[in-house]
Every structure is written in C-alpha cells, then in structure tokens.
Amino acid sequence: MFSKICNTIFNESIIKYHVTDDVDTQIDNPYPFKSIEYYLFLKNWIDTVQWHFEDIIRNPDIAPVEALKLKRRIDKSNQDRTDLVELIDSYFLDKYKDVETLSSAAINTESPAWAIDRLSILALKIFHMQQEVARSDASPEHIAQCSQKLSVLLEQQKDLSAAIDTLLEDIASGRKYMKLYKQMKMYNDPATNPVLYSLNN
C-alpha cells in the first residue's frame, strides 16, 4: 500500500531531523534523486522544518527583525511545499495516464498529493503529541489529555491512510480520475499582488 511507504518515510524524516532538532540542519535525503521516495522524504522534511519555524515565531520575546526574517523563510517554505505537492501529483498523473476511465468516473474532492500532504502533517502531530505524553515535567492532567489526543490522531492516521490507498486504487481502475490544478498564490506574484505591483507605478 502506498500509504505505508509514505508513513515509513515520513517517520524516517522526522526522526532524522530531531537528531539535531535545528531548522538550519542540511537535509540528507537517502533516496535516489527524483524518485517518488525522494520527493516524499523532501516533502516531510520541509513540513518538519516549518513546524519548528512556527514554534519559534510564536516566542513572545523574538526580536521584530528576526521575526520578519523568519516570516520570509516561512513564506518560502510554504511555496516549496506547494510546489512539491504539485510535483507529487504530476507523478500520479504520469503513472495513471494510460488508464481508461469509466463513463461513471468522478473526480475526488482533493488530489492524491494533497491528501498525502495531510498525512505528512499528521505524522508530525503524532510525533510531537507522543513527546508530550512522555514528558516527565508535565502534570498528570496534561499527560491524560495528550494521551487522548494521541489516540485520536492515530485513528485519523489509520483512516486517512486507508482513504489514500482507496483513492489510488480507484484511479488505477478508472473509477475516479484526477486533475492537476496549480495553486495560483496571488500574494507571491508581483503581477497579482497589489502591494507589489503598486511599487512599480
């Protein structure tokens, strides 16, 4: 099942990042360049670094200049994440390009890669919730609440994994089809962000 590959690679990426637990750690991707495994590892690494960006920027004592620098890094990370999701969807489009879709075939509410994106974030939530459950300095109430949340997250991971595998099976059999819609982020484009294009007037 493809979801099992995803979950294994996502966990590998998360654990590898937390060896240093430093947002400036250089990625060491163990998979062949441009393979789907390579892109899955890279996808989760980006998500993991951004998770910690989001932690850092919420520090109330962060200096404004540093916060602005970090906001720029978060913006770039978001764009990299979006680009990678589209690249993963391109992989599926190519993989299933010769499938003859049934006349009754329907499109899914989200593409495979955007579901995989959610699975990657879910792996991060599970890892960090497990850390909360294992804290020795937290109250019993905190541990109990986090344990309950962890159970929900694990169930969600199971359900989402099954849904992704079912979607891919449906696409492979022609029961569903997919399209790739580019994420036209207007605020990143100097031609469509009014603040940016007004600077040139």
More confident of the two residues 80 and 187: 80
pLDDT computed for residue 3 by the predictor: 98
Q: Read off the pLDDT of each residue in 73-88 and give the average, rounded to a whole number.
A: 94
Verdict on whether the full-model pTM lies above 0.95: no
pLDDT computed for residue 193 by the predictor: 74
pLDDT computed for residue 63 by the predictor: 96
pLDDT grade for 201, boundaries at 50, 70 and 90: low
Q: Which two tokens stand for residue 102?
A: 């049934």
**Residue 187: exposure state from Cβ atoms within 10 A (0-12, 13-18, ≥19):** exposed
pLDDT computed for residue 196 by the predictor: 63
pLDDT computed for residue 26 by the predictor: 95
pLDDT grade for 198, boundaries at 50, 70 and 90: confident
Per residue in 171-188, pLDDT (tens digit) is 999 999 998 777 666 666
Is the pLDDT confidence value at 189 over 80?
A: no
pLDDT grade for 50, boundaries at 50, 70 and 90: very high
Per residue in 109-149, pLDDT (tens digit) is 999 999 999 999 999 999 999 999 999 999 999 999 999 99
Is the pLDDT confidence value at 57 over 70?
A: yes
Domain assignments of the chain as residue spans, ordered by start:
2-189
pLDDT computed for residue 165 by the predictor: 98
DSSP string, the chain: -HHHHHHHHHHHHHHHHTTTT-TTPPP---SPTTSHHHHHHHHHHHHHHHHHHHHHHT-TT--HHHHHHHHHHHHHHHHHHHHHHHHHHHHHHHHTTT----TT-EE-SS-HHHHHHHHHHHHHHHHHHHHHHT-SSS-HHHHHHHHHHHHHHHHHHHHHHHHHHHHHHHHHHTSEE--------GGG-TTT-HHHHGGG-
Is the pLDDT confidence value at 86 over 80?
A: yes
pLDDT computed for residue 67 by the predictor: 96
Per residue in 6-37, pLDDT (tens digit) is 999 999 999 999 999 999 999 999 999 999 99
What is the share, in percent, of the chain residues with pLDDT greater than 90?
Answer: 88
